[in-house]
């Protein structure tokens, strides 16, 4: 599938005003949240990093991956049998608490999750609120209470072969997985759960990127955010 241009912001996204800030100018006390969602391997983390780079120090990042439920109370063998590709694997109240703290310009305590042990680490990190908060994750648009916090909602629509290739590269390198285990999980849970829970979220996005995202498209998104900054 050839790369398509960036889809324009819908009317409701253009009408929503947020406290965007990339320099020393005065900004709204209420930060603006940007949701970046899509399937595993669709490029969410990459896009968040590129936008943060273009927007400067006024943009901070948060990942839904940090909010997987702690499974340390379960035997290691039992943890391996859990389906981590369903939305109920996430500690949603903890995520909403962090987002609301940031929206109210309060420092937030963010948990840290270890994918190798499927357990929450004893240490956490403190996230200072920024005028732009980039949040990336698989299911950010499914829950109304979470979705309504994001005036800008980006969905990455990426072919399954590309997503599988990227997931293999990531899990073999960073999560100490075997090729067979990654392929088995992708076929048995990742892709079926993608079709059921991830893909339908495109209906709630107000900005859609298709196939491989080009640098020019990322620059257009950053420019749109900066335009909102100028108008704030």
What 3-state class would DSSP assign to 128? coil
Domain ranges of the chain: 11-64+132-231
Residue that wins the pLDDT comparison between 14 and 152? 152
Range list of H helices, the chain: 11-15, 44-55, 76-79, 92-103, 144-147, 160-174, 179-185, 191-193, 215-231
- What average pLDDT does this structure show over 137-150? 97
Q: What are phi and psi of 118, to 5 degrees?
A: 55, 40
Burial label for 144, CB within 10 Å (0-12, 13-18, 19+), is exposed
Q: What is the pLDDT of residue 161?
A: 87
Positive or negative, the Cα torsion across 134, 139, 142, 145? negative
- What average pLDDT does this structure show over 21-50? 77
Alpha-carbon distances, residue 99 vs 29, 134, 148 (angstroms): 14, 11, 11
Q: What is the pLDDT of residue 29?
A: 59
Residue 103 clears pLDDT 60, i.e. is over it: yes
Separation of alpha carbons 225 and 51, rounded Å:
10
Separation of alpha carbons 211 and 155, rounded Å:
11
Q: What is the pLDDT of residue 85?
A: 87
Residue that wins the pLDDT comparison between 13 and 63? 63
DSSP annotation of 141: T
Q: How far is CA 72 from the centre of its chain?
A: 24
Q: What is the pLDDT of residue 141?
A: 98
- Per residue in 156-210, pLDDT (tens digit) is 999 888 888 888 888 787 776 888 888 888 898 889 999 999 999 999 999 999 8
The label of the residue with tokens 């335009």 reads 227
Query: Is residue 60 a contact partner of residue 132, using CB atoms and an 8 Å limit?
Result: yes
CATH class of 11-64+132-231: alpha beta
Query: Is residue 178 a contact partner of residue 10, using CB atoms and an 8 Å limit?
Result: no
Separation of alpha carbons 38 and 163, rounded Å:
10
Query: Is residue 147 a contact partner of residue 153, using CB atoms and an 8 Å limit?
Result: yes
Q: What is the pLDDT of residue 230?
A: 67
Buried b (16+ CB within 10 A) or exposed e, 9-19: beeebeeeebb
- Per residue in 154-167, pLDDT (tens digit) is 999 998 888 888 88
Confidence class of residue 14 from pLDDT cuts 50, 70 and 90? very low
């Amino acid at each position: 599938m050839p790369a398509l241009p960036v889809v324009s912001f819908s009317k409701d996204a253009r009408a929503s005003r947020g406290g965007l800030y990339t320099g020393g100018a005065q900004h709204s006390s209420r930060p603006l949240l940007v949701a970046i969602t899509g399937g595993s391997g669709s490029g969410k983390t990459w896009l968040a990093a590129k936008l943060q780079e273009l927007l400067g120090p006024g943009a901070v990042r948060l990942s839904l991956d940090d909010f997987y439920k702690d499974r340390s109370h379960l035997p290691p063998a039992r943890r391996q049998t859990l389906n981590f590709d369903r939305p109920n694997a996430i500690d949603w109240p903890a995520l909403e608490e962090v987002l609301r703290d940031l929206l109210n310009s309060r420092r937030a305590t963010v948990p840290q999750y270890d994918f190798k042990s499927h357990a929450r680490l004893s240490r956490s990190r403190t996230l200072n609120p920024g005028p732009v908060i980039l949040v990336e994750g698989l299911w950010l648009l499914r829950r109304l209470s979470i979705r309504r916090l994001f005036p800008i909602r980006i969905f990455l629509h990426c072919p399954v072969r590309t997503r599988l290739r990227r997931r293999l590269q990531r899990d073999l390198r960073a999560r100490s997985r075997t090729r067979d285990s990654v392929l088995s999980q992708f076929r048995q849970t990742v892709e079926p759960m993608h079709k059921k829970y991830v893909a339908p979220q495109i209906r709630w996005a107000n900005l859609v990127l298709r196939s491989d995202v080009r640098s020019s498209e990322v620059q257009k998104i950053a420019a749109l955010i900066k335009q909102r900054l100028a108008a704030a």
